[in-house]
Amino acid sequence: MAGPRVEVDGSIMEGGGQILRVSTALSCLLGLPLRVQKIRAGRSTPGLRPQHLSGLEMIRDLCDGQLEGAEIGSTEITFTPEKIKGGIHTADTKTAGSVCLLMQVSMPCVLFAASPSELHLKGGTNAEMAPQIDYTVMVFKPIVEKFGFIFNCDIKTRGYYPKGGGEVIVRMSPVKQLNPINLTDRGCVTKIYGRAFVAGVLPFKVAKDMAAAAVRCIRKEIRDLYVNIQPVQEPKDQAFGNGNGIIIIAETSTGCLFAGSSLGKRGVNADKVGIEAAEMLLANLRHGGTVDEYLQDQLIVFMALANGVSRIKTGPVTLHTQTAIHFAEQIAKAKFIVKKSEEEEDAAKDTYIIECQGIGMTNPNL
């Protein structure tokens, strides 16, 4: 099984945890031994953090692989994958490290397992610098399922910064192959909806204020649509710790989904949190793409594995996306072409087409 190791420089481009997630997932899927050096070398706290470590350990356990150098602060790991197996797997960041990022690294792998999987992911469900679980369920899930699989995501407990303590259970069955996707027709926005939440000791008024401020902000730009943002008090038994935040989603006539989200922080007033999410959504609607800036990079690995040519239309290509493409080309040998959209309606906008000839990965176990 083990050929020469794939060597990855963890300090280039995005230079963070994403390089680790993409390269270890692809290494696991393709059975390629891997060495990642200079992990998060340029970050203020270089090397592995708890959430990266739990992600690596999970991938190791998914395939009974070998992992060396995996400890907090380590800047170099080697990983030797074996056969991917299904069953129950647990990953616990023991911090507010994001369960959504754990899902990002493990999901492509368990699609090519020998049997169905149940992933118990523990940490932050609504954490900074990562997708909120609501984004994963409301935006990522319906779009990624276009590749030809379904997964179930059961939010047991929500957990917030700084303690985490949330738990999500993801269930999915393996597939033989992934279908390519073609997301190039934007359509027009048909509805806007969302949820503004408070958890723990925060007053319900905060949720109502975030929602109201967000609606006012969207109204200035989009007048003819009803904007339905539900204020929510998270039930005491389903949330650990204190937190507040908002996610707003725009849906189009062709089934595209865009989001803006924001989390409350100590000392930041509720209106500001709502406005930040609304402005993020509006910015994502201006560029004419079919995916928002956060979905962009999350689709790259699936495009690389799919059997055929996938196309997505995006706004400006983010550094995260460029990074994912770079490693999907280096490790999986998928071929990507990124070019400016030539359609007339996009002429004045910063709109791109990301095209990928996938490698047509087949599940050896099915």
What are the catalytic residues?
320
296 annotated among ligand-binding-site residues: yes
Q: Does the annotation list 297 as a binding residue?
A: yes
Q: Is 18 annotated as a binding residue?
A: no
Token look-up 């007033």 returns 269
Q: Which residues pair with 310 in a beta bridge?
A: 356
Handedness of CA 55, 58, 62, 66 (dihedral sign): positive
Asked if residue 298 belongs to a known ligand binding site, the reply is: yes
Q: Is 238 annotated as a binding residue?
A: no
- The answer to whether 230 is a known ligand-binding residue is no
Give the annotated binding-site residues: 104, 294-298
Give the annotated binding-site residues for ATP: 104, 294-298
